[in-house]
Structure 1
Amino acid sequence: MGEHLALDVGAVLAALAAVCVLVFLAMAVRRRLFVRGGGAVECSLRELPAEEGGAPGVWRLGIGRYKGDVLHWHRVFGLSRRPRQVIHRRGLVVSNRRSPDPEEADGLLPDVSVIEVRDGDLTVELAMGASALTGFLAWLEAAPPGFPVDLHVPE
């Protein structure tokens, strides 16, 4: 009886290890597909509350992909191909740029700047490196004529 139990436990542990490896591989392939298509940058995102005095959400590491006039943001640690957030260039307001607070910096990539972005009712902060931020601002400034984009980003 003890031998059968040990074999059963071993089989369950092997199956769990195989599932973990498959999930990791699926996330790696998904990330490779996002980056391979071009127009992708690593950036963290957190939602800000709609009402004053509310606590902001937690920072989540992700990949932003430019698709025409929208920025699709996908979580790095996920399996879905659908974006978690969609930020539209039309009517976008960039209202603040800052360095991360010391308590925030531990959860973010090194040497990032944080910008506050408002798209309609959605207000988020994006944390990106210098080259990703330059690309984001260039994407905003390259909007077609008639696209209302409001930049209030201190240098």
Structure 2
Amino acid sequence: MPAWQWLLDAAGVLLVLVLLFGAGLIVRRRLLSRHGGTFELSFRVRHVHAGRGWLLGLGRYSGETLEWFRYFSLWPGPKQVLERATLTYVDTRSPEGPEELSLYPDHVVVRCATPDGPVELAMSASSLVGFQSWLEAGPPGTDWTRPAR
């Protein structure tokens, strides 16, 4: 078989793999979103360089936790899980510098504190209202007098 036929076959196999990956991403997104409570949520995984380290994803409320799923992954489980009891809202800010290119145009950066350290999320203003409501809506019997962590 000539070399050009090998190259053509390899290109065909690569194209099929790319199409299968795209179809897998679409199916995964549909499965994650089917029960509602999902929204676009970016998560900052690296804080080494200012304004860098953001990954696009999908957030989903699941009882007492906020689950974050990467967009470009086929893994069915969440990459990060934030518990309502240990998450404290700090403030919001507008994206700065390289963040403006990494994040969606209408998203704001939300800074939170956890026992493991600071966490930065990016979401739309309407999602922020839902996020703040979710944080404040603790289960019955929540001790509202406890000091913030």
Normalization by structure 2: what TM-score? 0.87
Q: 2:108 aligns with which of 97, 113, 123?
A: 113
Counterpart in the other structure of 2:26: 28
Measured against aligned partners, the alpha-carbon deviations of 1:65-99 in whole angstroms (never above 9, x if no partner) come to: 10000000010011101111110000211112111
Query: Match of 1:22, as an amino acid?
Result: L
Q: CA RMSD in A?
A: 2.1
Q: Distance in 1 between matches of 2:136 and 2:17?
A: 45
Q: Which runs of 5+ in 1 are unaligned?
A: none
Instruction: Indicate yes or no: 2:115 matched with 1:82.
Output: no
Query: Match of 1:10, as an amino acid?
Result: L
Q: Assess if the C-alpha contact under 8 Å between 1:48 and 1:125 holds in 2.
A: no
1:112 shift after superposition: 1.3
The alpha-carbon distance between structure 1 residues 15 and 90, as it changes in their structure 2 partners (threshold 3 A), is: same
Query: Match of 1:106, as an amino acid?
Result: L
Q: Secondary structure at the match of 1:132?
A: helix
Q: Secondary structure at the match of 1:90?
A: helix
- Give the total of aligned pairs: 145
Q: 2:132 aligns with which of 129, 132, 137?
A: 137
Query: Match of 2:73, as an amino acid?
Result: G
Query: Match of 1:13, as an amino acid?
Result: A
1:12 shift after superposition: 1.1
RCO higher in structure (CA 8 A, sep ≥6): 1
Q: Secondary structure at the match of 1:117?
A: strand
Counterpart in the other structure of 1:146: 142
1:40 shift after superposition: 0.5
Q: Assess if the C-alpha contact under 8 Å between 1:91 and 1:147 holds in 2.
A: no
Q: Which runs of 5+ in 2 are unaligned?
A: none
Measured against aligned partners, the alpha-carbon deviations of 1:29-88 in whole angstroms (never above 9, x if no partner) come to: 111111222110101110365xxxx54650100000100000000100111011111100
Identity %: 37
Q: Distance in 1 between matches of 2:113 and 2:38?
A: 20
Query: Match of 1:11, as an amino acid?
Result: D
